[in-house]
Structure 1
Amino acid sequence: MLTAAQLAKASCPPNKAYIRLVDTAGLFIEISRTRARWYVRFQKNGKQSRTSIGVYPQMSLAEARTQCYRFLGGLASNQYPVGSTAKPSIIKAHITEREMFQTIARKWLNKSKPGWGPVHADRYERMLERDVIPRIGTTHISAIKTVDLSGVVDAISARGVRETGKRCIRMIETIFKWAGTEGHEINCSTAGLITRLGAPKAEEHFPAITDPAELGEFLRAVKHYHGSPVIRALIELQFMIPCRPSELRLATWDDFNLEAMEFTIPSSRLKRTVANKAAGDAHIIPLSRQAAEILKTLPRFVSDPSVFPSSKRGRPISDNGARTAIISLGWGERQSMHGSRAVFRTLGEEVLKLDQALLEITLHHRLADQLRGAYRRVSRLDDRRAMMQAWSDMLDCLRTGQDYSHLVQK
């Protein structure tokens, strides 16, 4: 069976009129000193014949295989007479596209979407339409070889987006497995493709300050931020309520109970699968006295339920608002909104000596095996209430330069 690399190196020696390279399913190519042409060998009514389907390199190996399968399919259904010289354009008009990779991949995508969130679905659809289908979309799925996928992966690697490449390889592998269950023949493996993405870079984390003194400097800078008071409140609350930034930024007043001193994040806004968003419980984070005081300073609008509304009424503030404010204060490379969770997790355990399980529950993390069963996310609410108050008290001490040793858990 031919490979694209063999084909690129092939040439006709001076002492021959042409050379013939054989591929699969009757497909072969004749290379002379002036041209290279694809042919399909077939047999009908006991007679063997051949027909030309295109010229190389205008028609690649993958495309030639696709045209070969189309021609043979049309021949089997008596659409082409013996000796037919039907061109690819005619073949395309007669053969169904159900065997094309793009048809099968889009069918898989449409069947998978109902179980995905909108962001996840959009990511995979863009990846399929941008990176994969333009290269192998019209190829017969059984004619796709690993070398054809190498071109897909190499193009992604050239953009320097290794994680996208890994996702793309996993997606193609999943499509092939699903296509196999639909009765399609698969003659390709994704094994080894990940090596074409190069060595992984060092893992990058969201910037987070884990030095108490430096955190105090940052909190003082935020307190003296002269921009939007809504953005300042959002940043301050993000450090007192260590949820994911979008869970706080998109909050409505119905999510806060200032009498019970609780912030309830609906399941639909939590980081979960679509099924778990629909069936899961809400997540409760106790509010400290300082957090409640900040919330009471924020204006409420009858026409807008958002706690952090943008200048365009009816919409919450964008995620760029707080990020831009932190950058303008000169802390963009050292602290991020999402990094506030790492600050809480690290300093909470290392400085305040807080209960590891309570920290994980508050962050809405999956508990480790040794902790699961002993705790529930909604349990020990009183303990977590005391913990969040101690955390906010420590933030106040760091901001004002006071001693916080009395807050350390014994």
Structure 2
Amino acid sequence: MKYSSKPQLGVMMFLQFFIWGAWFVTLGTFLANNLTATGGQIGMAFSTQSWGAIVAPFIIGLIADRFFNAERILGVLHLCGAALMYVLYSADDFSLFYPVVLAYMIVYMPTLALVNSISFAHLKSPTREFANIRVWGTIGWIVAGLMISFAFSWDSASAITAGELRYTFLMAAIASGFLGVFSFFLPATPPQPVQEGASTIGSLLGLDALQMLKERNFFIFFIASVLICIPLAFYYQNASPFLTEIGIENSTAKMTIGQVSEMLLMLCVPIFLTRFGIKLTLMLAMAAWALRYALFALGESGDQVWMLMIGIALHGICYDFFFVTGQIYTDNTAKQHYRSSAQGLVTLATYGVGMLIGFGVAGQITDHYTIPTGHDWSSIWFVPAVFSVVILVLFSLCFKEQSNSATKSDAAKASS
């Protein structure tokens, strides 16, 4: 691998998540205040992420793994995304906004798997090096949030009233256009040769990655990925309203502690994988999920605010030790000619099926525990806490760590 590939991959990852963080965090606020959307409509808008993730594996399987270079497909998708983002910036009615944001997510979600595949293809040791590339994505998300709050103040009360929050979509459109062009200058990542006899309809659709589910461990990992995203949806959907309702000032700024934690702990993933293996690293993430929600259930503003801050800071372990570890595990498990399809399959499991179910469950639980003064947040947060513990126990019993796992071998080779 050429040394120049790593800076290029870092820029790619930075822009990939800068684009997402530039508009997704403030989406609910924009819809409620500027398009007068109902709660149900806001839920529909957030669910487009899941629908895009469900469609993503088919786009990846049909195109990236079969016919065209991955970096070129990435470029085309982001150029299309730039155009759609500009339409969202111009939209003044939810009836126009919703189909466009749905189209955008169908275009954007496949790029999450593509940037991973491009990175893995140009790293000598993905287990050791991928976290150093992926961390730039978290930095990009943080920078986007800081620009919105401090550089432009688009999320201030006066700016929201004036409709300035829509400029977040314009910022995302500009960044998407830049990444679209930049992608064509990334290291060439051609499709891998297809094995003889593999040109069936299923393989052309990228469904050959489904054969990975025949392996016991990967099947258990896949199911765990779906299930763990149900409690994750509680955090994405309820954390900000929860902190605001109980009187935590500058709650949005305080939530960036989670992204800072994610950025720092991502660098620890290779260490944990090398020393403890896939199973214990994934279990640690699940345990952190349960602890986070328990802290949210027990904590409150005032003397117990420290519980909430620790719960937010645990986001780094929750996300990195499960999602980044899972991406590495998937790359090590998949055969070379359908690695992009395999990444798309995991995207389907997590951001697709799991989050889609999770947003629905979180909404129902939140409505169930609505009280005259707001919400019974302790009861709400205990639901994902208990659910996370159940997933942790089942995973620990069912997933069998292989003594000579590909991950440990790769790490050992990289450090030698």
TM range (shorter): under 0.3
Name the one with the larger helix percent: 2
Which one has a bigger Cα radius of gyration? 1
Name the one with the larger strand percent: 1
User: TM-score under structure 1 normalisation?
Assistant: 0.25
